Structure 1
Amino acid sequence: MTTNIVEFFNALTRTARALPITILVEFLRSTLQYWFFNRRNMTGERSHPLTPYAEDKLAQHVFKSANMVVKPINMQQYEVHDSRQQVFIMNLLYRTCDCGKFQHSQISCAHVAAIAKYNNLSDCVGWVSTYYSIEYLRRVYEEDINPLGDQSTWAPSNMSVIYPPVMEQ
């Protein structure tokens, strides 16, 4: 996962890296300003309680759960059989599933979607982590990224010379 972030950052800054550091920093600041503005506006337009990513994942899991057979063990545990005749034990109380996807992503897996359908629930949004909620996303992007203004208007105060550290040999 970290490799993708580094590759994305490198691709983003490919052309700006050759520029002076002040221009590179301004490029990054303006990019963040643009992203925050767009994401803040996107969250305001959404009526679904989940982020677009989580909503898409959940829709895929609901589609995948169509032919699954659910056998209740008790009110919290279920045995779910998929189309390949694999059996998964799902515990709604502890939010665990033998497939491991539910614990890993914290988005309802296909087995949870099958259980929701079995119990005549309209959706399984309640088993998705709050990190994927649109409200959480709104809070992440609520702050503004402000420009620094023209460099000529910066007023230096208490300028002092900073020397490099003394290196002992």
Structure 2
Amino acid sequence: MDSNIAESWNGAIKEAREYPLIMMLEYIRTTVMGWLALRRAKANDEKGTLTPNVRKLVEENYDLSTVLAVRDISELEFQVQDPRGECFTVNLAVGSCSCREYDEIGIPCPHALAASSKVGFPSDAMVAPAYRVPTWRQGFAGKIYPVPSVGGSQVGSSTTAELLPPAVRRPSGRPRKVRIKSRGEFKVTKSTLNIIFIF
């Protein structure tokens, strides 16, 4: 299932879903505005070159790289062997490793870090630009401003009356509070739980 982000967002606005439409939108706007402000402040306070989570991953990979044996193939190509005897080819010129981890995510794997340590290549320079602090700061450069008051001249020169919500008829019955199940999900009942616990 690939709906984790949507489920997290639904959980964040669960309280607001009970509000009238305008209040719900204002709640969502202020929530996102606050999140962006906090993350912008965190990004601006960062002194390193890499984002904190990526720096932690690089440090963990560096610790794993200390037990690897590195042999030269050419000036920027190396054979890296792990303790089990498996060999990997690292090319620092193009930023790739035959394990494909470095190629796929842009964060140097232990094999690439072992090779870079041998030639004194800085590990921060090996990380893809998407994980660097300047890119992180650009992601929060935009701002969300409060919505101006509605009605009168602020809505437009042709509007002089008070802006009202559209006339809609609320459907009969109680509003749904439980989300609709995705394809492949099923409702767990007591009989299903009993069968699961028996096995």
TM-score by length of structure 2 reads 0.71
Q: Which stretch shifts more, 55-64 or 35-44? A: 35-44
Aligned to 2:64: 64
Runs of 4+ in 1 over 6 A off after TM superposition: none
- Equivalent residue number for residue 119 of structure 2: 119
Letter aligned with residue 65 of structure 2: S
After TM superposition, give the deviation of residue 9 of structure 1 in Å: 1.4
> Which residue does the alignment assign to 1:138?
137
Q: Residues 154 and 5 from structure 1, CA distance in 2 versus in 1: closer, same or farther, beyond 3 angstroms?
A: farther
Matched residues in 1 for 2:84 and 2:149: separation? Answer: 64
Q: Is the 8 A contact 1:108 1:125 kept in 2?
A: no
Instruction: Tell me, in whole angstroms, the C-alpha distance in 1 between the residues paired with 2:123 and 2:152.
Output: 54
1:67-146 correspondence to structure 2 within 5 Å = 67-121=67-121, 123-146=122-145
Unaligned runs of 5+ in 1: 163-169
Going from structure 1 to structure 2, the CA distance change for 1:149 and 1:118 (only over 3 Å counts) comes to: same
Q: State the partner residue of 1:167.
A: none
Q: Determine which structure has greater relative contact order: mean sequence separation of CA pairs < 8 Å that are 6+ residues apart, divided by chain length.
A: 1
Counterparts of 2:58 and 2:19, CA distance in 1:
43
Tell me which structure has the larger Cα radius of gyration.
2
Residues in 1 aligned to 2:26 and 2:154: alpha-carbon distance in whole angstroms: 18
Is the contact between residue 148 and residue 154 of structure 2 (CA under 8 Å) also seen in structure 1? no
Q: What's the RMSD between the two structures over aligned residues?
A: 2.2
Shift in Å at residue 14 of structure 1? 2.1
Q: Tell me the secondary structure at the aligned position of residue 112 of structure 1.
A: helix
What residue ranges of structure 2 are gaps of 5+ in the alignment? 160-165, 167-199
Residue deviations 1:45-86 (CA, integer Å, cap 9, x gap): 211101112111111111111101111111222111122322
The answer to whether the 8 Å contact 2:96/2:102 transfers is yes
- TM-fit CA distance, 1:138: 1.1
Percent identity of paired positions between Structure 1 and Structure 2? 23
Q: Give the Cα–Cα distance (whole angstroms) in 2 for the partners of residues 154 and 53 of structure 1.
A: 48
